[in-house]
Amino acid sequence: MVEIGPEEQGMERVQDEEGPVAFYDDRPQLRMWLKRGSPQGTVGPHVQLRNASGQRVDPWTGDLVTRKSASNHRPIEWDL
């Protein structure tokens, strides 16, 4: 399987000094956040995805999820 990153899909990467890495499509609609996790350690590094309508989705199934859903916080290895 060939993986295509967000930048190869035409998304723009945006990040302020301490904030999460955000990717926007050409509308610009937020499509993905890469987050380091909370300082309290309750949620570690994770990805949050949104569909073209801006709704949060599970990265594996594409199903809609809520803001606090575990599926909205898919763990990742932070290596940026």
pLDDT of residue 13: 92
pLDDT tens, residue by residue, 11-60: 899 998 878 899 999 999 999 999 888 777 667 898 899 999 999 999 88
Residues of 25-59 as b/e, b for ≥16 C-beta within 10 angstroms?
beeeebbbbbbbbeeeeeeebbbbbbeeeeebbee
Is it the case that residue 79 has pLDDT exceeding 90? no
Residues 6+ apart with CB under 8 A from 10: 25, 26
- Three-class SS of residue 70? helix
Count of other CB atoms within 10 angstroms of residue 23: 22
Ranking 5-9, 34-38, 72-76 by mean pLDDT, the lowest is 5-9
